[in-house]
């Protein structure tokens, strides 16, 4: 069975400093991994995805993540935080079956950005 652990429920950074949101996964197969962002009262927006191509994945808004199979990790980073990055971030693991994606979400990490 798949599962996702997000090691921090809340991360607080100052504007202009680096962001690190940690994610570890468990999957029996070769997984696809995603990071989604959810702003207050909004739906989920895809930041980036890993689907067995390059292990360093670049996403939107300057975010990137590195897939490390040996560590079963997929941490999300950004060199310089912006106030607009404040939101809830979800790490997601998925196996592809005959009918498409079967997503398992982590519990989320709330990112606060201080001025």
Q: With contact defined as beta carbons under 8 Å apart, do 48 and 63 qualify?
A: yes
Contact residue for another protein among 80, 84, 102, 112 (CB under 8 A): 102
Strands 19-21 and 73-78: antiparallel
Strands of 7-84 (E only): list them: 10-14, 19-21, 23-26, 32-38, 44-50, 56-58, 64-68, 73-78
Dmax over Cα atoms in the chain, in whole Å? 47
Contact residue for another protein among 32, 63, 65, 74 (CB under 8 A): 32
Residue 70 or 99 having the CB closest to another protein: 99
Contact residue for another protein among 1, 28, 40, 43 (CB under 8 A): 43
Q: Does 36 bind another protein (CB under 8 A)?
A: yes
Burial class, 10, CB count within 10 angstroms (exposed 0-12 / middle 13-18 / buried 19+): exposed
Q: Residue 60: helix, strand or coil by DSSP?
A: helix
Q: Does 100 bind another protein (CB under 8 A)?
A: yes
From the CB of 25, what's the least distance to another protein, in Å? 13
Q: Does 22 bind another protein (CB under 8 A)?
A: no
Contact residue for another protein among 25, 34, 63, 67 (CB under 8 A): 34
Chain contacts with another protein (rule: CB under 8 A): 32, 34, 36, 42-46, 49, 51-52, 90, 96-108
């Amino acid at each position: 069975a798949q599962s996702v652990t997000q090691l921090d429920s809340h991360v607080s950074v100052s504007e202009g400093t680096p962001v690190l949101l940690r994610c570890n996964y468990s999957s029996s197969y070769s997984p696809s991994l995603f990071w989604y962002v959810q702003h207050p009262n909004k739906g989920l927006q895809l930041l980036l995805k890993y689907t067995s191509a390059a292990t360093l994945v670049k996403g939107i808004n300057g975010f990137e993540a590195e897939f490390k199979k040996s560590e079963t990790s997929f941490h999300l980073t950004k060199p310089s935080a912006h106030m607009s990055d404040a939101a809830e971030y979800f790490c997601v693991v998925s196996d592809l079956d005959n009918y498409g994606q079967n997503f398992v979400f982590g519990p989320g990490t709330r990112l606060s950005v201080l001025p």
